[in-house]
Amino acid sequence: SFFDADDYKESAREVLRTVFGHHDFRDQQEKIVTEVLEGRDALVLMPTGGGKSLCYQIPAIVRKGVGIVISPLISLMEDQVSTLNEMGVEAYYLNSSLSREESNEIEAKLRQGQVELLYLAPERLLQPYTLNMLSSIDVSVIAIDEAHCVSRWGPDFRPEYMNLNILSNKFPNVPRIALTATADMESRKIIANELSLKNARVFLSSFDRPNISYEIELKNEDPETQLLNFLERFDIDDSGIIYCLSRKKVEQTAAFLVENGFIAYPYHAGMSSTKRKKVQQHFLQGEGVIVVATIAFGMGIDKPDVRFVGHMDMPKSIESYYQETGRAARDGLAAQAWMLYSRRDSAVLKHLIRKGTRDRTQRKVEEHHIELMLGLCETTRCRREVILSFLDEDSPEYCGNCDVCQGSLEGRELQDVTDEILLYLTAIYKLNQKMSYETVISFLTGDESFRFHEYTSLPLYAQGQGIDSSKWREIHRVALTCGLIQVKFAEGARIALTEKSLKVLDGKDRIYMRLDTSRKMPTLTKKRA
Ligand code: ADP
Ligand code: ZN
């Protein structure tokens, strides 16, 4: 069928109303839908809960042929498909959980043009058999969900995503739309490159969730009491999610909450799927239900009135934290994100990485993300500003809706570390922004492991000797958290300065470090004296 643009818009609006039951498009949804309906590629960056799914579901329904959706998680696919089926949309998924016969049936429907949306994991799509089958039928649109999984330098890397670039050759006339809820500037470029979406228009929404307040607290010897104190702020019928790192702790915490009169259920991947489905049901339908979960919970759970998201342990990256807290308050009303953290948490996470990640580069990347996360926990700046600057979004230095803005650091001892930061930044600059952070630190401390002898005659060499290297690593973390430096993993993990660092180099900005979580360091001036 040959619609013109207005017809497309009209059909899209009609589907929005009749199929999805919404009156209006949100923010950029209509622009995105139109772009895809007109046959062009798009890269969509929208926060969790922003309404990404409609951006490809509507084009898939309006355009002739099947819309293919690539999604990394089976549970996510199942949720989406059953929601679509309830609305009367012919949606299916193909994955390893289906029997041979079930797959055959879906394939027959595909060939008869009876399928509007087909969800697939990347590895399934890339099987020659699947690709051939799909090449022989009409495809309306290809959506690549969770597109940040293509970035080798991100914490959620999925190698099979890198092979998705063959889609541009296999389906040259099919518009492709990549979607993600988290991507900094670097990752955006990587996504566009890796998926061969170089001419795609980029649709960027603000990632700020102003109705979510952020609060991060140091874990003490009795975290369960800390949790109770936090929960006291809520009404009895408020629902929420509490995340823990391990299954054991999930079980313990849920039991603890039940003992204390709450309606709480554990949820983790070690439970049977029937049990997990039950918990989901209680959570979606009940009031005042708390789900205590590992990260296995939440993906695709669409409950608008989640009033709080708590973390009993530090998550592995700011991305994860942002995603997990983003499950709160999709209804736009106020909600609270609250976290307990300790330095031990970061040590435990690093230990898990050393055990679980073989690839050396990947391990470094993951450690880097833990550093950033710890940086967010220990920052003296507005939490929201740090989170958003991590996503390359500018925001005011004061949000008024996080614990730091509300004075949680008042009366605590801070150390002005601007001089140390300056020294670190200068060293990075003098080493031509070519070295890893470990090398910069060994240069500053005059460590014998520093092997680049052409630089040892610089006056800066060994100027940071008065501070031990573990302390310099903290300086490094603070510089990262403040967005003054960047790690270029694609270029041997070299450290580069950002534009923001100019403000510090100008002496216009002071940088502080907390002393309640870290021991005081000798000042450099003292050493020189
Ligand atoms: P994302 O994938 O970006 O996390 P979803 O596509 O799951 O977000 O949408 C989040 C919620 O917003 C869903 O409950 C969805 O029904 C709702 N939603 C999306 N678009 C609209 C709209 N235009 N009007 C009203 N509700 C919408
Ligand atoms: Zn703030």
Tokens of 453: 């002898």
Q: Answer yes or no: is pLDDT of 529 > 50.
A: no
Q: How far apart are CA 64 and CA 6, in angstroms?
A: 17
Q: Answer yes or no: is pLDDT of 178 > 80.
A: yes
In this prediction, residue 185 has a pLDDT band, given cuts at 50, 70 and 90, of: confident
Q: What share of the chain is helix, strand, coil (3-state, %, to 5)?
A: 45, 15, 40
Specify the higher pLDDT residue, 143 or 277.
143
Q: What is the pLDDT of residue 314?
A: 97
Residue among 255, 266, 247 nearest 313 (CA): 247
For the question of an ipTM over 0.95, the answer is yes
Tokens of 216: 């991060």
Dihedral angle computed from the Cα positions of residues 82, 86, 90 and 93, in that order, rounded to the nearest 10 degrees:
0
Q: What is the pLDDT of residues 378-390, one digit of tens each?
A: 999 999 999 999 9
* Helix ranges restricted to H, 211-292: 223-231, 247-259, 273-285
Ligand 1 center to residue 153 CA distance, Å? 29
For the residues 184-194, what does the mean pLDDT come to? 88
Q: How far apart are CA 505 and CA 425, in angstroms?
A: 8
280, 231 Cβ separation under 8 angstroms? no
Q: Which atom of ligand 1 is nearest to the CA of 48?
A: 4
136 burial via Cβ count (<10 Å: 0-12, 13-18, 19+): exposed
Q: Which atom of ligand 1 is nearest to the CA of 300?
A: 7
Q: Give every CB contact of residue 228 below 8 A, 6+ residues apart in sequence.
A: 260
| Residues of the chain above pLDDT 90, percent | 79
Distances (CA, A) of 82 to 22, 91, 123, 183, 268: 18, 8, 22, 28, 21
Q: In angstroms, how far apart are the furthest CA atoms of the chain?
A: 83
Q: How far apart are CA 442 and CA 37, in angstroms?
A: 55
Q: Answer yes or no: is pLDDT of 407 > 70.
A: yes
Q: Is 49 in the pocket of ligand 1 (CB under 6 A)?
A: yes
Q: What is the pLDDT of residue 4?
A: 60
Q: Which atom of ligand 1 is nearest to the CA of 24?
A: 23
Q: What is the pLDDT of residue 200?
A: 95
Specify the higher pLDDT residue, 297 or 425.
425
Ligand 1 center to residue 181 CA distance, Å? 13
Query: Which helix (H) or strand (E) element contains residue 495?
Result: strand 494-497
In this prediction, residue 157 has a pLDDT band, given cuts at 50, 70 and 90, of: confident
Query: Which helix (H) or strand (E) element contains residue 307?
Result: strand 306-311
Ligand 2 center to residue 392 CA distance, Å? 16
Distances (CA, A) of 141 to 62, 170, 205: 10, 13, 22
* Residue 196 one-letter amino acid: S
* Residue 287 one-letter amino acid: E
Specify the higher pLDDT residue, 95 or 228.
228
Specify the higher pLDDT residue, 183 or 515.
515
Q: Which atom of ligand 1 is nearest to the CA of 302?
A: 14
In this prediction, residue 97 has a pLDDT band, given cuts at 50, 70 and 90, of: confident
At residue 498, φ and ψ (nearest 5 deg) are -105, 170
Q: Whose CA is nearest to atom 23 of ligand 1?
A: 25
Query: Which ligand is located closest to the Cα atom of residue 15?
Result: 1
Ligand 2 center to residue 289 CA distance, Å? 28
Q: What one-character DSSP code corresponds to residue 161?
A: G
Ligand 2 center to residue 338 CA distance, Å? 13
